[in-house]
Amino acid sequence: MERWFILGLLAVFLFGLGSFLGKFASNSDISPRVYFFEVVGTITVFTTFFLLKKSEILNGFSVNYYAIGMGLCWGIGTVLFIFALENSKISMITTLTALYPAITIILAYIFLAERLDTKEIVGVLLAMVAIFLIVK
């Protein structure tokens, strides 16, 4: 297996585990405090990453506004996800939020001129139908 695929599978597993733990957190605490502690976890990862990669990060440093935008989108999305967990089954909210790759694909098609072959289009459509069936 290629490295990117293994890393992607590990990321999917961790996203799934994190969402699962988020439901336990939401069941036992208020959403603002859940987000507070989620940020503590994020800061822990950030600090470790920074300490391990400090020289690469600081060498030729310049601000990457796209990365800031990415962080803001993920951060706001996380806040909304945590609040949604209060009033939904985890199976519903995680399934609904799993539609985000469709947004990415549409944006990549429009702005990056990325093209999908027929197999990929059918796969995306089937994934969207599956999510719709689970949520409804």
Q: How confident is the model at residue 1 (pLDDT cuts 50, 70, 90)?
A: confident
Closest Cα to residue 127, out of 94, 95, 80? 95
pLDDT tens figures, 13-69: 999 999 999 999 999 999 999 999 999 999 999 999 999 999 999 999 999 999 999
Q: Are 97 and 81 in contact (CB under 8 A)?
A: yes
Rounded Cα–Cα distance for residues 51 and 120 (Å): 39
Rounded Cα–Cα distance for residues 135 and 92 (Å): 5
pLDDT tens figures, 55-72: 999 999 999 999 999 999
pLDDT tens figures, 59-111: 999 999 999 999 999 999 999 999 999 888 888 888 888 888 888 888 998 99
Tell me the pTM: 0.83
Rounded Cα–Cα distance for residues 91 and 68 (Å): 30
Q: Are 84 and 93 in contact (CB under 8 A)?
A: yes
